[in-house]
Amino acid sequence: MDDFYKQLEEMVIKGKTPKVVESAEGAYLTIDGVKKLNFCSSHYLGLSVNDRLKKAIKEAVDRYGVGTGYRTLAGTHKLHVELEERLARFKKAESCIVLTGGYMANCAAIATIIGKEDIVISDELNHASIIDAVRLSGVKTKFIYKHLDVKDLEEKIIEAKEVAKTPKTDGKAPRILVVTDGVFSMDGDLAPVPQIVSLAKKYGVLTMVDDAHGEGVLGKGGRGIVDHFNLHGQIDIEVGTLSKAFSVLGGFITGKKVLIDFYKQNARQFLFSNALTIADTAALVEAVKILEEDDLLVKKLWDNTRYIKESFKNLGFDTGISVTPITPVMLSDEDLAREFSAKLFEENVFATPIVFPMVAKGKARIRVIPSASHSKEDLDFGIKAFEKIGRQLKVLK
């Protein structure tokens, strides 16, 4: 046992310790008593400091208390029901189930309907939660298609259909599920959802999109990637996250009512976990109300996104293939990315390095995410810091 703990200690020493935030997470945040420009959180719409959410929390806690419980026992509160109904309407879906996290939602979405004799086809750059969900399902036949490569996806579907000709031990045909991120979190590129839908119809397979970084960002009023492509009702399983643009906690799945009812009766991540607290749920209900009312925050986010991308491009930074607010400043070398981030921190700009294993070796970058809470002056402050460090480290000429 001493050797075991020694090994752990050696690995911990090599690991990364996160910065501790001492303030609210708006356009700026405080670390070690110093105000820093917040250039790397996923609070796309600035709702983490929104006064309406704060008020909704206070009123709900005063009225209902704090804790809930298991949804299947005494933990389903009317606020949970309201949240699920509002999210379903917002997403233009038949029904919705809310869980305690996006990670849990992905695990529930896949492992509840896919067994070891079924088949999963997954984009090679899908999020870790999708990878773990597939592992949890125990599925033995998995196909990985090249990132965004529709031709390769079709080839994998054809292979899967051939495998599926052999019935499962219960005599039923294996289910085939094609699963992808909607927005890929490291590069900010989009899944080819229209082509995936076309292939699914052609070959008769299930589809799932994890839209963690599309909720509150893409589509009309932030309704996500399915709305962005006007494909309502054509994706079987749509997973969303409530901790990014919504700035609270939780995850959800939308789809046909019969599917969501099945999840509520069978998903272990739902059955054996506590429900969201009263405070979380009240804040989320208010967040959905805000997005239902108008798209001002979404428009501000995209104005800021266009401004920062254009500014970086004019300076000579490589921002990769992003078409979303996720703006990677590509640096390739991991040590350079770490040094760049450290020097930005000295300039009071908080933007973390993204290195292996989060991205492939040789693909290191600083991932910048503007938000609706940033003013033009805030963005200019960050851009000037990037320019200064870029010239110091000879990233810029």
Q: Which residues are catalytic?
A: 185, 213, 244
The residue type found at 127 is H
Give the whole-angstrom CA distance, residue 231 versus residue 227. 6
CA distances from 12 to 9, 16, 18, 355 (A): 5, 8, 12, 17
Cβ atoms of 250 and 56 closer than 8 Å: no
Residue 73: how many CB atoms within 10 A of its CB? Answer: 9
Rounded to the nearest 10 degrees, what angle do helices 296-315 and 278-293 cross at?
Answer: 80
Phi then psi for residue 347, to 5 deg, are -90, 10
Tokens 């233009």 belong to 92
Cβ-proximal residues to 258 (8 Å cutoff; 6+ apart), any chain: none
Q: How far from each other are the two terminal CA atoms of the chain, in whole angstroms? A: 54
Cis peptide before 357 (omega within 30 of 0): yes
What residues does 21 pair with on adjacent strands?
A: 31
DSSP string, 260-309: HHHHHHH-HHHHTSBPPPHHHHHHHHHHHHHHHH--HHHHHHHHHHHHHH
The candidate with the shortest Cα–Cα distance to 220, out of 160, 154, 273, 295, is: 295
> Per the structure block, which two tokens stand in for 188?
């900010």
